Structure 1
Amino acid sequence: MSLKQHMKFWAFFVALFILFLVLLSNILLPFILGMAVAYFLDPVADKLEDLGLNRSLATTIIIGVFVLLVILLTILLVPVLIEQLLGFLNRLPGYITKLHAFLMPIVERFVDVSDLQQNGEVKKSLALYAAEAVKSLGALSKNIIGGGLALVNIITLLVITPVVAFYLLRDWDHIVEKVNSWLPVKNAHEVRRLASEIDDVLAGFVRGQATVCLILSLYYGIALMASGLEFGLTIGIITGMISFIPFVGAIIGAVASIGVALVQFWPDFVMIGIVGVIFVVGQVLEGYVLTPNLVGERVGLHPVWVMFGLLAGGSLFGFVGVLIAVPMAAVVGVLSRFSIRQYLESPLYGAPVPPPEEDEK
């Protein structure tokens, strides 16, 4: 096949894949989650195989333990998190009003706000915005807890996801072998090399970052709850869960925690400082211990590229798009670097063309 035919083939394949996502995005969630679980746990299955267990038994043990842990976490944590989240939303207007009363005297020292009648207008504006925020967040929570579960049926998730994960994890090596046999013979070596590079990026980011988020959720949740901060468990767990978005998780968590601490503990500077120190320690732990050791620097996914991928995936395909955003960003990143290398080595860039080999006499 010529280069033009290759490009047409892959363009058609990409267009077909995007159409598939658009048309079936409402039912793909349990399958994508099952695939993610299988990919995440494949190294564990390999370890158990090395210990002498057959693949089916190893898969049964792994999926069984995984499902048990998910059920326990759901029973123990979800009711508490929902209760704290709804309580936080109900008290959000009061927090905003108290923060306004706390911050306005500081602002008035540097800015003259008398001409704007700030005291009356800002309070009304803040009350209005707070009410709208609570209304919007309440509706969102209701959709997630109620309507969202009607769209993405929780029973379907609990049943189909483990089944998909079990079969994919059990047959993972066979699937890889089968796909490997479909590679074009002429370019098989290059495709395998690219696939290996993509796997390194995904393993480094997805598995590594998921572990980082889990550890940070436990750290922030336990530390903030132990400090006595209101809704500390919920704020901490949410902060850890969204830490895979560079800087966003830490900023949101710090602003929410310190804001609540100012309202709850003022003028106790020690307790407010403790909450601040918790986040400083968390950032040091993430930046200098967890990320370098669990994610590594070979991933090659720039934070801006990750954020763009998440926003683009969510905008195009909703929650399913968010789930596949980082893997797709990793694939596009690896292919982009490969294309750039090819370009730099080509005559189009101006690289010298090696002279033709002379026939040996």
Structure 2
Amino acid sequence: MLEVFSNWYKQKFSDPASVALLLFLLATFAVFVFWGEMLAPVLVAIVVAYLLEWPVSKLVRTGLGRTWATTLILILFTGLSALALVGLLPVVWRQAINLLIELPQIWSEAQIWLSSLPDKYPGFLVQSDINNALKGVNERVVGLGEDIISASFSSIVSIVALLIYLILVPLMVFFMLKDKHELLTNISNIMPRDRRLVKQVSLEMNSQIINYIRGKVLEILIVGTMSTITFALMDLRYSLLLGVLVGFSVLIPYIGAAVVTFPVAAVALFQWGVTPPFWYLMVAYGIIQALDGNLIVPILFSEAVSLHPVYIIIAVLFFGGLWGFWGVFFAIPLATLVKALLNAWSGSNESIQSQEPAKLTEQV
């Protein structure tokens, strides 16, 4: 066993560039594991900087200085974000409060409906099983309510953290965009000299991350807008709140769409019952999900490396468990990073094997 591991190590890491890539990867992983929460504002700033780099670079190509281009784009981005928050946040907040107030009534009617199922389908369901399941759910709901109450007492800490984000993140985004080349030069100076594979992987990942962040933001806006308009036209209650939830559900591939279906269906059932309007809404919601998966995603992520759905789900579960929201958000780029690393190490190994015959002929 030890010999097998030794042969594998010599085969994969005999190239100094492979060792440099491994050390760089381990150092980056350690930084985010031990100081991930502390560096969360930095991560937010990096995401925003990636998002704004494209318009900044476009203005720079027209002859405008990078400092002025960065200032102009950041002001526009901040202004649009503030207008969106002022226009949407109060409505979403009000609808969320109203939905929380009506949740007990929704759950009460759901329990009545579930309790009636054994009478309708006596051969498949037993009343005692339904009662036990409802008892377990009620206990979990009580525990969830206690968690929400306890979390409300820590809201002051959340407000302070939000203020820190609102001050630090724009500053970091400004300097990341304005001094992009200087920062990249400083990072390259502390890297090992033999960083061929690191550069190869970073170039591949840079294009992937840029494409992913832009595409994901556009996907959230498109799907959220389509859902909100559809729900509003069909006169569904809490249309803006549910549309926002559907938009953000695309952050979690496959899983998010399945989870957000429950509140949409629950509100529709509470409003209309099992009637034609309920089925019309679910059909419209299904069409939106089909358009997202079969039209919007292929167009927005046409440049992304294709990954099997199983790998994507595993990446969401693994990286989400490690880093929470940001692990879920970057699950696909991180899975692509793993693929790029495997390709780089395999290519490094092949290049070494191809170089060995050349060295022998030179010696002869």
TM-score by length of 1: 0.81
Gaps of 5+ in 2: 1-12
Amino acid at match of 1:223: T
| Aligned positions of 1:256-335 closer than 5 A | 256-269=263-276, 271-296=277-302, 298-319=304-325, 321-322=327-328, 325-335=331-341
CA distance in 2, matches of 1:115, 1:43: 60
CA distance in 1, matches of 2:327, 2:91: 28
| Aligned positions of 1:143-292 closer than 5 A | 146-147=155-156, 149-150=158-159, 153-179=161-187, 188=196, 190-269=197-276, 271-292=277-298
- CA separation of 1:22/1:250 partners in 2, compared to 1, >3 Å: closer, same or farther? closer
CA contact (8 A) 1:250 1:279 kept: no
- CA separation of 1:85/1:303 partners in 2, compared to 1, >3 Å: closer, same or farther? farther
- CA separation of 1:317/1:222 partners in 2, compared to 1, >3 Å: closer, same or farther? same
* Higher RCO (Cα < 8 Å, 6 or more apart): 2
CA distance in 2, matches of 1:127, 1:186: 60
- CA separation of 1:126/1:195 partners in 2, compared to 1, >3 Å: closer, same or farther? closer
Amino acid at match of 2:220: C
CA distance in 2, matches of 1:5, 1:344: 14
* Aligned-CA RMSD value: 3.6
Amino acid at match of 1:160: L
CA distance in 2, matches of 1:302, 1:346: 30
- CA separation of 1:7/1:105 partners in 2, compared to 1, >3 Å: closer, same or farther? same
Q: Deviations over 1:268-296 (max 9, x none)?
A: 31x21232122122123212321111112
CA contact (8 A) 1:59 1:166 kept: yes
Amino acid at match of 1:149: S
Q: Deviations over 1:150-177 (max 9, x none)?
A: 5x61111111100100110112233335
CA contact (8 A) 1:214 1:240 kept: yes
User: What is the Cα deviation at residue 240 of structure 1?
Assistant: 1.1
User: What is the Cα deviation at residue 211 of structure 1?
Assistant: 1.3
User: What is the Cα deviation at residue 42 of structure 1?
Assistant: 0.6
CA contact (8 A) 2:20 2:195 kept: no
The 10-residue stretch of structure 1 (131-140 or 156-165) with the greater mean CA deviation from structure 2 = 131-140
- CA separation of 1:137/1:215 partners in 2, compared to 1, >3 Å: closer, same or farther? farther
| Aligned positions of 1:23-34 closer than 5 A | 23-34=34-45
User: What is the Cα deviation at residue 56 of structure 1?
Assistant: 0.9
Q: Deviations over 1:311-341 (max 9, x none)?
A: 4344334455555555443322311232344
How many residue pairs get matched? 352
User: What is the Cα deviation at residue 112 of structure 1?
Assistant: 3.8
TM-score by length of 2: 0.80
CA distance in 2, matches of 1:160, 1:304: 37
Counterpart among 36, 50, 53 of residue 61 in structure 2: 50
CA contact (8 A) 2:231 2:239 kept: yes
% same residue: 23
The 10-residue stretch of structure 1 (227-236 or 79-88) with the greater mean CA deviation from structure 2 = 79-88
